[in-house]
A and B are shown apart, each in its own frame.
Chain A
Amino acid sequence: ETGVTQTPRHLVMGMTNKKSLKCEQHLGHNAMYWYKQSAKKPLELMFVYSLEERVENNSVPSRFSPECPNSSHLFLHLHTLQPEDSALYLCASSQDLGTGELFFGEGSRLTVL
């Protein structure tokens, strides 16, 4: 498997559930990102990790909790979400924080009931 892989591709959860989204990159990159893509809105940057350290937390509610155990894996833990959190969550990586090209995963489509 090469590139950026996200699982699950689709997730339906209730507001009281706890679930996690997983992202794995096989590109040897040092920076990883979570983006939220809602209908008719620009991609919203949520979190940025560089060398496993969080360098950006873009005013994201605490019901979203990221985790980066190593430079190849990134998780987004979800807890007591709201229906308005339903969106496509995209993971991306780049060689380093300062390099401009992002490589995206296919996304995890989240529906909160």
Chain B
Amino acid sequence: AQRVTQPEKLLSVFKGAPVELKCNYSYSGSPELFWYVQYSRQRLQLLLRHISRESIKGFTADLNKGETSFHLKKPFAQEEDSAMYYCASYNFNKFYFGSGTKLNVKP
């Protein structure tokens, strides 16, 4: 079965520091990979998807098929980036979500 693993439950960094949220997926076919974000008191929403190859709010994510990873990166974290981040894979009409990483950006 498809699995998405986010090894870090909590990641704390200082403002201006680089941040990387890890995500690994179990390989099955050619999944589509996503990052979803949930800010405090807001609904879960799409941050970015690997097929669009765009940078959203300074975040990028590169699909590494060799390592089956889709890590989310930002060179300079901002306080407003503090949120829950969920990695997800989409394959065979099913979404598989990771358990999420809470990012805390300290001033």
Contacts and interface: CB of A to CB of B under 8 A. Distances in A.
Interface stretch (A21-29, A73-81, A97-105): A97-105
Interface in A38-79: 40-43, 45, 48, 55-56
Contacts of A40: 9, 99
Given A100-B49, A107-B43, A56 B94 contact: yes
A28 B11 CA distance: 37
Contact of A41 (B34, B90, B94, B99): B99
B44 A104 contact: yes
Given A42-B98, A104-B43, A107-B43, A98 B93 contact: yes
Contacts, number: 41
A90 interface: yes
B46 interface: yes
Q: Give chain B's interface secondary structure class.
A: strand
B81 to A, nearest CB: 19
B86 interface: yes
Contact of A45 (B43, B94, B98): B94
Interface in B23-56: 32, 34, 36, 42-46, 49
Bin chain A's interface residue count: 20 to 34
B95 interface: yes
Contact of B4 (A42, A98, A106): A42
List the 6 shortest-distance A-B pairs measured between CB atoms, nearest first: A43-B97, A104-B44, A100-B90, A42-B99, A106-B43, A42-B97
Interface of B: 4, 9, 32, 34, 36, 42-46, 49, 86, 90, 93-100
